[in-house]
Chain A
């Protein structure tokens, strides 16, 4: 009898330990995600309130209205991810293999932007890229640029903001993957007369793939869903789907439209992640965050 009680108690322990955190996450993350499906199917208006009418027509209608912003979000998000990957891979590589004594210092320097508030990080680019700012203003004064030239409000400015924000997120997992490579594999390749190019392409690059995978995943999801870069550095022609969701939800109180858009974005990203995992591997990003 007491043995059975003890056994039951031991079985219950992990659940008891997990319950408080699990309940919080289920209630305030999982349930809301499911609940927006029903919110999206409501009709009504912000003054009289909304009622659930199973209004599935909202989906084709919002896709039709906002397909440009969806496409733009994926374009900006993926372009900034690709640029961040190309820019940061050599940096992570150099720190991992040639950083020597200064590895941790260099890593801290790469991560310094994290310590600047996210909104301020984007905001400073507005100061840097402004028409009358330090760079463009000076170039215009000495006549190197026409006075009508501007960078803010262009897609380039938004992508630059998104890319900047992605740099540390991209560098960190790639660095961890490179750092974990067993150096003897590279020596073995060299002993077998692999050229440096082959050593890199056939050994280092494949072994760092999990880091690349994690970096792309982290950055792409964040950037496709971002709206701060577009709001601060962009203009009316660079609105992303996040801007639309935010405006519809918070300013217009059009909950069904905003919920439908959020749900479509979520499903599109999940589908993308699934295809991506099928194509490039199934490692989780969990070991890198």
Chain B
């Protein structure tokens, strides 16, 4: 058989070979094209003229106006600002809470570790409607007014779980002997953490923080329950569906998209600068 690299062998056969060389790649390209359609529509309609201020499904001509004035709708802009504030704060808090917990779960054996894993898994897997509904019930029960603070609390509650999982994976790959070596050389646990552990798990923390930020800025369902009168960007867009979408929504969507992709690519480069833990 083909040596080493031959994936699924290299045995030539007319039928499967044609499948492998043309049909399957063609299919993959078609699916990828399909997944990109909504992105194309979003970008396209951000250039569509909307004389009434609301987009219609029909094409009215190309314009750059909405890129010149993306912040012309005060409500929409303030919703976007809320989203950015909540995403930033919830990322910071979730990372600060999640990193120590990830260290505990990855490094120590202790009673209740299994239960912690289970709760974190449930937090990630639980359907958003149930999480949102139960949190709203809880806040109503306690008489807590809904708004910015309750959205922040909810976002930290789901982001913490993702931070723990992502950072934990990185800590598990860490070579424990490096930390022991630092301690043998006289570093106390705190110094050993900041000088050895932290730099080594930093890419994991960064990846976790980026994921948390993205999840927060994108969250709709849980937020829709606990928001009260405060609007975030997704909530504002959802509310505008019935009355018509201003082109600025797609302008902001496009800008968020481009920023996200740029950060993702930068993150890949940062993660690559360090040797891969496995293989």
B97 lies within 8 A of A20 (CB): yes
Residue B266 lies at the interface, judged by CB distance under 8 Å to chain A: no
Residue A190 lies at the interface, judged by CB distance under 8 Å to chain B: yes
Q: Which residues of B contact A (CB under 8 A)?
A: 1-2, 6-9, 11, 13, 16, 20, 24-25, 27-28, 31-32, 35-39, 41-42, 45, 55, 57-59, 96-98, 100-101, 103-105, 107-108, 110, 112-113, 116-117, 119-131, 133-138, 140-141, 153-154, 156-158, 160-162, 164-165, 169, 214, 217-221, 224-225, 233-234, 237-238, 241, 245, 249-250, 253, 256-257, 260-261, 264-265, 268
Interface size of A in residues (CB-CB distance below 8 Å): 101
Q: A117-B233, A168-B35 are in contact. Are A196 and B250 (CB under 8 A)?
A: no
Q: Which of A110-144 contact B (CB under 8 A)?
A: 110-121, 123-128, 130, 132-134, 137
Q: Determine how close the nearest CB of chain A comes to the CB of B109; give it in whole angstroms.
A: 8
A22 lies within 8 A of B45 (CB): no
Given A29-B158, A250-B224, 17 further pairs, Cβ under 8 A:
A14-B107, A20-B101, A21-B98, A25-B161, A32-B135, A88-B31, A91-B31, A114-B214, A116-B42, A120-B42, A120-B250, A133-B57, A137-B57, A191-B1, A225-B129, A245-B129, A266-B130
Q: Which of B1, B13, B98 contacts A196 (CB 8 A)?
A: B13
Chain B residues near A287 (CB, 8 Å)?
A: 169
Q: Determine how close the nearest CB of chain B comes to the CB of A140; give it in whole angstroms.
A: 12
Chain A residues near B119 (CB, 8 Å)?
A: 22, 25-26, 29-30
Q: A22-B101, A120-B42 are in contact. Are A222 and B161 (CB under 8 A)?
A: no
Interface residues as binary, A141-157 with B (CB distance below 8 Å gives 1, 0 otherwise): 00000000000000000
Chain B residues near A282 (CB, 8 Å)?
A: none
Q: Determine how close the nearest CB of chain B comes to the CB of A99; give it in whole angstroms.
A: 9
User: Considering the complex of A and B, which 5 residue pairs feature the smallest CB-CB distances, nearest first?
Assistant: A225-B127, A115-B260, A32-B138, A14-B108, A21-B101
A36 lies within 8 A of B234 (CB): no
Chain B residues near A162 (CB, 8 Å)?
A: none
Please name the residue on chain B nearest to A240 by beta carbon.
B129
Please name the residue on chain B nearest to A197 by beta carbon.
B16
